[in-house]
Amino acid sequence: MDNPVAEFNAYRSKMNEALLAEASTTIKRIFNLDQSAYTKGSLDEETKELMGLVASTVLRCDDCIKYHLEQCYSLHISKQAVLEALEIATVVGGSIVIPHLRKAYEYWGQIEAHAEKKL
């Protein structure tokens, strides 16, 4: 894998576009609800993304973890804050979360490396 961040984003975009082109109203509403849930409200976007990261980690969804890590990075959430959120996820989820914790840590490094190449 030359650029796993770009590959993940390209696949995600391609499949979302294909799916939504044929999706029912219900699926379209779910996608819209998911997107709007993370906009600023009583909680700021950074807090919501960290919450999404924790929930995705506890649910062991690697694609969701990657998505929320990228959102955290784009919102300039520090690596330390992300690691603290992942600590909480591991405490809540238990040792079964540890493989996803490893993958999350690895992917954060890939995001950082990809961002450095853009500079």
The predicted-structure confidence for 63-107, as pLDDT tens digits, reads as follows 999 999 999 999 999 999 999 999 999 999 999 999 999 999 999
For residues 38, 73, 109, 59, the Cα torsion angle rounded to the nearest 10 degrees is -10
Comparing CA positions, the residue from 3, 115, 72, 2 lying closest to residue 104 is 72
pTM of the model: 0.92
Q: How many domains does the chain have?
A: 1
Contact (Cβ atoms closer than 8 angstroms) between residue 59 and residue 37: no
Query: CATH code at 96?
Result: 1.20.1290.10
- Which residues span the domain enclosing 70? 4-118
The predicted-structure confidence for 3-55, as pLDDT tens digits, reads as follows 999 999 999 999 999 999 999 999 999 999 999 999 999 999 999 999 999 99
